[in-house]
């Protein structure tokens, strides 16, 4: 808004209106529940993600997380527990608070991860060579079948299935090669205590101000994923800021029961 184009009184009124509309929006948003852990929760039974869901009971609304397979196909899809949203979020946020205030834990996690990275990179060069050799072989086999098909010495019925098999193998090999290359890029840096402290501060500030988007952003920076075993046990894998892709997990005893929404 260009302040000089209108007089001060109008400007103030306009500002107030905008502020009101803003707070209306905020009020409106707060009616719908912000599932802070969506995209982080992974079902240990079927491997799918958990999603946020809600149901109306006689007196209240239940917000909960449920495995995607169970949400879609019921208990035929997956029998994983449905977990009360708020309680689960509190348990995870508590765990973050205690893990990241324990710098010893962070140091230990970092050391273990650094050792593992070193071990892996020794083995990976060897495997990379093997994968690349096999990739070459597979590619030339594909070329031969294509040539045979083109010059008419093989029918499409003859080479079709074999080509399909070979290209499946090719894709497997390519993705394995990318994985190995990716592992190699994982440089083990030092954990960054300042960054950790500032993220913890951001998190508690965002929590105290009820800013769900900020909470989510900080959570994603500190938590890689959360394995849900059942209602008694969830296991977050933490990221250690500063140490690229390093993580360490911790069992979080929840102490709540699964929900059975109506």
Name which of 82 and 239 has its Cβ closer to Zn ion. Answer: 82
Q: Which of 37, 66, 78, 91 binds Zn ion (CB under 5 A)?
A: 78
Q: Which of 37, 80, 106, 173 binds Zn ion (CB under 5 A)?
A: 80
Question: Which residue, among 105, 107, 114, has the nearest Cα to 187 in the 3D structure?
Answer: 114
- Range 184-190, long-range pairs (CB < 8 A, 24+ positions): 184/121, 184/124, 184/125, 184/128, 186/117, 186/244, 186/245, 187/244, 188/110, 188/113, 188/114, 188/117, 188/118, 188/243, 188/244, 188/246, 189/242, 189/243, 189/244, 190/110, 190/242, 190/243
Q: Which of 37, 41, 42, 43 binds Zn ion (CB under 5 A)?
A: 43
Q: Which stretch binds Zn ion (CB under 5 A): 79-87, 178-186, 197-205, 217-225?
A: 79-87
Estimate the share of the chain in helix, then strand, then coil, as percent rounded to the nearest 5: 60, 15, 25
Q: How many CB atoms lie within 10 A of CB 32?
A: 9
Name which of 113 and 228 has its Cβ closer to Zn ion. Answer: 228
Name which of 124 and 254 has its Cβ closer to Zn ion. Answer: 254
51 binds Zn ion (CB under 5 A): no
The nearest distance, CB 232 to Zn ion, in angstroms, is 16
Taking a C-beta distance cutoff of 8 angstroms, is the pair 49, 39 a contact? Answer: yes
Q: Which stretch binds Zn ion (CB under 5 A): 5-13, 74-82, 122-130, 227-235?
A: 74-82
How many residues interact with Zn ion (rule CB under 5 A)? 7
Taking a C-beta distance cutoff of 8 angstroms, is the pair 57, 92 a contact? Answer: no
Q: Which residues pair with 223 in a beta bridge?
A: 238
66 binds Zn ion (CB under 5 A): no
41 binds Zn ion (CB under 5 A): no
The nearest distance, CB 80 to Zn ion, in angstroms, is 4
46 binds Zn ion (CB under 5 A): yes
69 binds Zn ion (CB under 5 A): yes
254 binds Zn ion (CB under 5 A): no
The contact set with Zn ion (CB under 5 A) reads: 43, 45-46, 67, 69, 78, 80
């Amino acid at each position: 808004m260009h302040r000089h184009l209108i007089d001060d009184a109008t400007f103030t009124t306009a500002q107030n209106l905008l502020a009101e509309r803003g707070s209306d929006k905020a009020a409106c948003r707060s009616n719908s529940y912000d599932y802070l852990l969506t995209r982080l929760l992974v079902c240990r039974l079927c491997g799918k993600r958990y999603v946020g869901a809600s149901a109306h009971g006689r007196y209240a609304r239940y917000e909960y997380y449920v495995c995607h397979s169970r949400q879609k196909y019921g208990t035929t899809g997956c029998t994983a527990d449905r977990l009360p949203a708020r309680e689960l979020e509190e348990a995870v946020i508590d765990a973050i608070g205690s893990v990241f205030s324990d710098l010893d834990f962070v140091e230990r996690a970092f050391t273990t991860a650094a050792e593992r990275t070193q071990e892996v990179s020794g083995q990976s060069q060897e495997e990379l060579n093997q994968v690349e050799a096999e990739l070459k072989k597979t590619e030339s086999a594909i070329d031969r079948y294509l040539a045979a098909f083109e010059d008419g010495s093989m029918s499409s019925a003859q080479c079709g299935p074999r080509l399909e098999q070979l290209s499946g193998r090719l894709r497997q090999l390519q993705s394995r090669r990318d994985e190995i290359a990716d592992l190699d890029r994982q440089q083990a840096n030092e954990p960054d205590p300042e960054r950790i402290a500032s993220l913890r501060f951001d998190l508690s500030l965002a929590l105290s101000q009820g800013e769900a988007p900020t909470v989510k952003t900080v959570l994603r920076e500190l938590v890689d994923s959360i394995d849900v075993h059942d209602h008694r046990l969830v296991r977050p894998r933490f990221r250690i800021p500063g140490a690229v892709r390093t993580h360490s997990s911790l069992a979080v005893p929840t102490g709540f029961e699964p929900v059975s929404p109506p």
